[in-house]
């Protein structure tokens, strides 16, 4: 697709969808106490609603992308947003826990496919040396959701009932569908597009290596974020009224990271990915030391949030290594990050169950970041090996 002189409206339209997705994904966690009371369920049962959404992401991303391989991206994006709006609208109407579980699964289905396709569209309207920046702009919708959308949905749910939080997400999703229909460029499906060709991404070792960097290395961020509120309350000793402000600093760090880091990644993709993992490991290592001090932990939370820029870097890399299976590879990036979202809290929770303090979640994060560095090193070595094969005949 040709470059567009002013792609900002396109980025805004695509990011609005990301804002809706980010709001429902994170706001469900903060609305759980209200949902528990409304549906008369306990905390353990209520947590399954979050798992159902994540399962929807894991199932929907590859399934939708492969089945819809022959569809143009613009109408597919609109359809995904409408489906997402439907899932959240039904969540607002859920009469009991069983239906709510089903509707949260339905809401998660479009998540990965939408972000994957939106990233491809954004990257296609700018010069090649600005692709990661374009993807970062789309991801800003997700990061801004943690600063604005989640607190607003939580506040609305607390004032007029948790169902209105989902109604708000539904309205934003429909707005996103309308904006995409107006501003996103239309591009016919690629010549020869076919589900079988998309599945070809699964045969590329570099795709799996790239996904492993995110699935493992990103888990460290979630190991800390999941228990951040508890840490701020029990270790930092912060009053409840101030905790949301510190948590929002994580979102500010995400936003700054998605603006700044992609500029370096467009010049040196893999070195920037490696540097981001190192940044993450250092920030997470500082977490146990910073936890007792309010200003130190606030700064550290900001630094940890900046590491989320890894998502944009890996998204662009998948475009480079997926060949003609772009759609599936792009969608799988968000499956990898949902795997990290499961792995990090699971390991951190196990360490806490052994009796270690909340600061130990940062050390779990360091371990996962270091494991991500190992996968990065293997991937980097594989790249050099492939480059050697390509240049050998010309030597």
Give the separation between CA 210 and CA 125, rounded to whole angstroms. 24
On whether both 223 and 188 belong to a single domain, the answer is: no
On whether both 168 and 290 belong to a single domain, the answer is: no
Tokens of 84: 């997402």
What average pLDDT does the chain have? 86
Task: State phi, psi for 227 to the nearest 5 degrees.
Answer: -110, 15
How many Cβ atoms from other residues are within 10 Å of residue 213's Cβ? 29
Top-ranked range on mean pLDDT: pick from 47-51, 105-109, 232-236: 105-109
Comparing 166 with 67, the larger pLDDT belongs to: 166
On whether both 188 and 231 belong to a single domain, the answer is: no
On whether both 263 and 299 belong to a single domain, the answer is: yes
Give the separation between CA 239 and CA 241, rounded to whole angstroms. 5
CATH number at residue 382: 1.20.1250.20
Q: What is the total count of domains within the chain?
A: 2
Tokens of 370: 């270091």
Which residues are CB-neighbours of 101 under 8 A, at least 6 positions away?
48, 49, 52
On whether both 330 and 343 belong to a single domain, the answer is: yes
Residue closest to 87 by CA, chosen among 110, 71, 70, 69 = 110
On whether both 253 and 186 belong to a single domain, the answer is: no
* Cβ atoms of residues 258 and 360 within 8 Å: no
Give tens-digit pLDDT for 29-78.
777 778 888 888 876 677 778 778 888 888 888 888 888 877 888 999 99
On whether both 210 and 182 belong to a single domain, the answer is: no
* Cβ atoms of residues 166 and 25 within 8 Å: no
Can you say whether the dihedral through the CA atoms of 335, 54, 343, 219 is positive or negative? positive
Which of 193, 222, 253 terminates a domain? The answer is 193
Which residues are CB-neighbours of 2 under 8 A, at least 6 positions away?
none
Give the separation between CA 172 and CA 156, rounded to whole angstroms. 14
On whether both 187 and 45 belong to a single domain, the answer is: yes
Domain that includes residue 142, residue range: 1-193
* Cβ atoms of residues 2 and 186 within 8 Å: no
Give the separation between CA 292 and CA 237, rounded to whole angstroms. 8
Which of 174, 193, 212 terminates a domain? The answer is 193
On whether both 183 and 202 belong to a single domain, the answer is: no
Give tens-digit pLDDT for 355-372.
888 888 899 999 999 999
Give the separation between CA 360 and CA 384, rounded to whole angstroms. 36
Which of 193, 211, 230 terminates a domain? The answer is 193
On whether both 206 and 187 belong to a single domain, the answer is: no
On whether both 183 and 200 belong to a single domain, the answer is: no
User: Counting Cβ atoms within 10 Å, is residue 103 exposed (0-12), middle (13-18) or buried (19+)?
Assistant: buried
Give the separation between CA 58 and CA 299, rounded to whole angstroms. 33
On whether both 323 and 179 belong to a single domain, the answer is: no
């Amino acid at each position: 697709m040709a470059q567009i002189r002013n792609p900002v409206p396109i980025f805004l339209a695509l990011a609005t969808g990301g804002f809706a997705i980010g709001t429902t994904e994170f706001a469900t966690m903060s609305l759980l106490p209200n949902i528990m009371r409304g549906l008369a369920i306990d905390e353990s049962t209520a947590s399954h609603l979050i798992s159902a959404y994540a399962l929807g992401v894991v199932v929907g991303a590859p399934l939708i992308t492969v089945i819809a391989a022959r569809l143009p991206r613009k109408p597919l994006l609109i359809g995904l947003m409408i489906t997402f709006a439907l899932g959240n609208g039904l969540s607002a109407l859920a009469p009991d826990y069983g239906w709510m579980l089903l509707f949260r699964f339905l809401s998660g289905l479009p998540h990965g496919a939408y972000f994957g396709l939106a990233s491809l569209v954004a990257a296609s309207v700018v010069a090649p040396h600005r692709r990661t920046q374009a993807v970062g702009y789309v991801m800003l919708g997700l990061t801004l959701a943690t600063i604005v959308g989640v607190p607003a949905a939580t506040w609305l749910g607390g004032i007029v009932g948790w169902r209105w939080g989902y109604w708000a997400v539904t309205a934003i999703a429909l707005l996103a569908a309308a904006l995409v229909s107006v501003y996103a460029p239309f591009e016919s499906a690629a010549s020869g597009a076919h589900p079988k060709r998309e599945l070809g991404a699964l045969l590329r070792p570099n795709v799996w290596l790239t996904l492993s960097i995110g699935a493992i290395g990103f888990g460290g961020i979630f190991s800390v974020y999941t228990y951040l509120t508890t840490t701020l309350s029990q270790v930092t000793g912060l009053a409840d009224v101030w905790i949301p402000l510190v948590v929002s600093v994580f979102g500010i760090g995400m936003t700054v990271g998605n603006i700044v880091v992609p500029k370096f990644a467009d010049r040196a993709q893999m070195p920037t990915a490696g540097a981001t993992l190192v940044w993450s490991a250092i920030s997470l290592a500082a977490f146990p030391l910073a936890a007792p001090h309010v200003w130190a932990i606030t700064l550290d939370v900001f630094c940890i949030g900046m590491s989320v820029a890894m998502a944009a870097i890996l998204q662009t890399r998948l475009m480079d290594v997926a060949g003609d299976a772009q759609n599936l590879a792009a969608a799988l990036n968000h499956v990898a990050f949902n795997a990290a979202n499961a792995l990090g809290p699971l390991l951190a929770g196990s360490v806490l169950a052994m009796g270690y303090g909340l600061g130990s979640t940062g050390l779990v994060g360091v371990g996962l970041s270091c494991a991500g560095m190992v996968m990065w090193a293997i991937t980097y070595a594989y790249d050099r090996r492939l480059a050697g094969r390509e240049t050998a005949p010309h030597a």
